[in-house]
Amino acid sequence: MGRDSGIVQGIVARALRKRVDPHGKPIIDPSILKGVEADDSGIVELWIRPSKPHCPCCLNDLIELRSLLKGQRGVLACHIEIVGIPESDRWTAAINE
């Protein structure tokens, strides 16, 4: 892992620590945030299990989270993969379109 990915990881970590899902749970709760990866080129990947899997406000919140992260210095792209819920591929597609 290079110096640049460490900078990006710090930026992403700060943004995630401040984030609370629409139901009042911190996004960094292990039941929600399943994984984070940032590479040297600034590509960020998150694996998330929404706290309320069929709640439209959770979907909107994750779209906003992706936009927020993409706007951070050093972040070239952000992909959010939804895991652990039925039809997670549809959620992933909607968030990353």
Give residue 55's pLDDT.
86
**What tokens appear for 40 in the block?**
């040297």
Closest CA to 36 of 59, 15, 58, 57: 15
Domains in the chain: ranges and CATH: 3-96 (3.30.300.130)
Residues of the chain with pLDDT under 70: 1-5
**What tokens appear for 19 in the block?**
């984030």
Closest CA to 56 of 20, 15, 95, 30: 95
Coil, strand, or helix at residue 61? helix
Give residue 5's pLDDT.
56
Give me Rg for the CA atoms of the chain: 13
User: The whole model's pTM is what?
Assistant: 0.90
Give residue 7's pLDDT.
85
Give residue 53's pLDDT.
82
Give residue 3's pLDDT.
53
Closest CA to 53 of 19, 92, 88: 88
